[in-house]
Amino acid sequence: MHIYFNPLDSVCKSVIGAVSDTTKLKLTAFSADKGKLTLYVKNDFTGKEVAYPMRKSSGGFFAYLTLPAGLYWYHFATNSERFGRNADLYAEKGSFDNFQLTVFREGGVDDSNVINGKIIYQIFPDRFCRVGDFEVGFDKIKRDDWGGEPTYRNEQGLVKNNEFFGGNFKGIESKLEYLKSLGVGVVYLNPISKAYSSHGYDTGDYLTVDPVLGTEADLKRLLKKAEKLGISFVFDGVYNHTGADSAYFNRYRSYDEVGAYNSKKSKYYPWYDFKKYPDDYVCWWDFINLPSIKKGSKDFQDFIVEKVLPKYFKLGFKGVRLDVVDELDESFWQRIRKTVKNFSHDNAVIGEVWEDATNKIAYGKRRKYFLGDELDSVMNYPLKDAIVSFLLKQDTTELARLICEQVNNYSSADLKRLMNVLSTHDTPRIITVLGRNRVVTDKDMLKYERLDEEQYARGKRLSEIAYVLTYTLYGTPSVYYGDEAGLTGDLDPYNRRCYPYGSEDKDMLDFFRWLGSVRESSDAIKRGTAKIIYRDRYVLVYERQYLDERVFVAVSRNESDVKLKFSQPLIKFGETAYSNEFTLHSDGYLILKN
């Protein structure tokens, strides 16, 4: 028997993507052969598999499903043959890959969210913009050379992350109009609570903003001014660990509080997991300056949801990004979500998840992030990896497969909110990734690495294609500060260089402003369906559609120009002449609309 089934074809699957638990879903597999076909559906959480005999119709077989919220896997079978998915999500005889079906709770997923349709701009606060002088405190280094090279190891060979360039809240406030010119609607800030390091992931005091960044009054003023400009702010929630140099642990006695390290009678002692008191304790990835919070610590969780979150949302924040969310107890981040949504249903909860969040397994357990009433978005690292693969390998295979999978696995509402990253504080800058033809991971050697003129030109050219993809595919594009100015850099701290004021790449700035205006002018790009309509090894063409608006995006890694012909007249954004034929240049892109 030969069958045709494609879950991205509405003729085969009545709803594209994830479905609600009240949906009566129709699955249809087409075949000219006579015989019987059975649909097998397995509940991932219970392990129970149910067989659904499919009814015969003209040219095919069909079955109806209404399933409780959960993650499911399905395939088709005759008495002797099994039909599962192939790489492009089509049914294939003898395949042992099941199709995925995500079922979410009705009412748990909707289009109401502060990040919907927006452009996100990520800021590492110490390195974005400085206004005024600053002080850093004991055992910290003040850097007055804005734009100087960050230090990985100090003269003693230690990695301390204790040098500050003085970026602050006033500096961000001074650049709000600049962000608006890029089309930015949401700013995501790396940690702003008081900490020893410049990166802030070693929290010292959750209830105090870091004095190097400014005062609480400075932060309030920033958020109020941003709100008037239509820009919302999201803060980094680091709730899996604290700093060893914190009010709660207080290993170095920097705080007046009696910390867990100082006494077993400390009110914070139950927060931490000591193997042998006081020097042997559980740490995040064995970093002794990052003691982990004990899983299930109710006192700590109460502190976060009852004191910390209310403080920041009352200041004016509209969302939180949960650092290493897969290391938090499920009940904890569900409490976090409930607290965040109590302030406003539109507030965003974004998770740091590096894989497909609809089916992720972490620490031996399947995670439930997108079944309704959980996360609103995650950092879309899988898309980033697929884009990089396409651009470096000159092969669309991985990118096309990933697009198909994400359209299939996420609900249409969640798909539109995926945070499409290319550079972050945890990864090398995209221009560096695409410009260099080799990978260097030794941070001691990275100090000497620079892109030459030819490498920079290559990285710049390819990064424009990468950003066209993140801006015009489903999801919300995220720009790491300085990418739009041509900033380069490898792994941290070199990806955390200061914004290059006075030496920005003007062509890149113009490109980002243009790309922002294209996105803002198109409902199809911001909220439409996504469908691949053509691909070969070097060229990918996809369509975004919303109501009567259709947008076609084509990208190429071909070494020569390609002629594209469409069945209807189209026009480039910003131009006036319609045509059915266009030239897609080598290492180029086209964004067309009807």
Confidence at residue 440, expressed as pLDDT on a 0 to 100 scale: 79
Distances (CA, A) of 437 to 397, 455, 458: 20, 8, 10
Instruction: From residue 55, give the alpha-carbon distance in Å to each of 19, 26, 61, 317.
Output: 22, 11, 5, 53
- Closest of 77, 90, 183, 113 to residue 512, by C-alpha: 183
In degrees and rounded to multiples of 5, residue 438 shows phi and psi of: -150, 160
What is the per-residue pLDDT across 149-184, written as a single tens digit (0 to 9) for each?
999 999 999 999 999 999 999 999 999 999 999 999
Q: Which of 106-120, 276-290, 555-569 has the lowest mean pLDDT?
A: 106-120
For 394-501, where are the alpha helices, taking DSSP H only? 397-409, 412-415, 430-435, 443-446, 453-472
Q: Which residue has the tokens 């962000």?
A: 179
Q: What is the pLDDT of residue 110?
A: 84
Kindly report the average pLDDT of the chain as a whole number: 96
* Residue 35: band (very low, low, confident or very high) from pLDDT cuts 50, 70, 90: confident
φ/ψ region of 413 (left if φ > 0, alpha if ψ in -120 to 50, else beta) reads: alpha
Note the CATH architecture for domain 524-593. Answer: Sandwich (2.60)
Domain ranges within the chain, ordered by starting residue: 19-104, 241-292, 524-593
pTM of the model: 0.97
For residue range 205-231, what is the model confidence (pLDDT) as tens digits?
A: 999 999 999 999 999 999 999 999 999
> Computed from CA positions of residues 166, 170, 173, 178, in that sequence, does the dihedral angle turn out positive or negative?
negative
- Residue 491's nearest CA partner among 435, 562, 440, 428 is 428
Per-residue pLDDT reduced to its tens digit, 470-495? 999 999 999 999 999 999 999 999 99
To the nearest 10 degrees (0 to 180), the angle between helices 506-520 and 453-472 is: 10
Among residues of the chain, what percentage have pLDDT more than 90? 93
pLDDT at 442: 87
Confidence at 280, pLDDT banded by 50, 70, 90: very high
Q: Is the pLDDT of residue 111 over 90?
A: no
Looking at the predicted structure, is the pLDDT value of residue 77 above 80? Answer: yes
Contact predicate 369/71, CB 8 Å: no
pLDDT for position 414: 97
Q: How confident is the model at residue 439 (pLDDT cuts 50, 70, 90)?
A: confident
Helical (H) or strand (E) element with 396: none
- Rounded CA-CA distance 309/468 in Å is 35
pLDDT class of 1 with cuts at 50, 70, 90: confident
Contact 553, 544 (CB under 8 A): yes
Kindly state the helix (H) or strand (E) to which residue 106 belongs, with its residue range.
none
Beta bridge pairs of residue 272 = 293
CA 528 to centroid of chain Cα atoms = 19
Cβ atoms 101, 30 nearer than 8 A: no
Q: What angle do CA 117, 119, 123 make, to 5 degrees?
A: 145
Quote the tokens at residue 377.
């978005």
Q: If you average pLDDT over residues 119-125, what whole number do you get?
A: 98
What does the pLDDT average to over 23-51?
A: 95
Distant-in-sequence, close-in-space partners of 31: CB < 8 Å, separation ≥ 6: 1, 2, 3, 4, 37, 59, 60, 61
Instruction: State yes or no: pLDDT of 448 exceeds 80.
Output: yes
- The Cα–Cα gap between 194 and 521 comes to 40
**Structure confidence at residue 466 as a pLDDT band (50, 70, 90):** very high
Q: How far is 238 from 296, CA to CA, in rounded Å?
A: 16
- Asked whether the predicted pLDDT for residue 438 surpasses 80, the reply is no
pLDDT tier, 239 (very low <50, low <70, confident <90, very high otherwise): very high
CA 362 to chain centre: 17
Domains 19-104 and 524-593 alike in fold: yes
Topology given in CATH for the domain delimited by 19-104? Immunoglobulin-like (2.60.40)
Please name every residue paired with 284 in a beta bridge, in sequence order, or none if there are none.
Answer: none
Collapsed DSSP state (helix, strand, coil) of residue 386? helix
Q: Which of 312, 350, 83, 102 is nearest to 220 (CA)?
A: 312
Model pLDDT, residue 346: 97
User: Of 362, 367, 240, whose CA–CA distance to 295 is shortest?
Assistant: 240
Distance separating alpha carbons of residues 557 and 555, to the nearest angstrom: 7
Rg (CA), the chain: 25
Q: What angle do CA 111, 387, 497 make, to 5 degrees?
A: 90
CA angle 222, 226, 231 (to 5 degrees): 140
Please state, in angstroms and rounded to a whole number, the distance separating the CA atoms of residues 530 and 552. Answer: 10
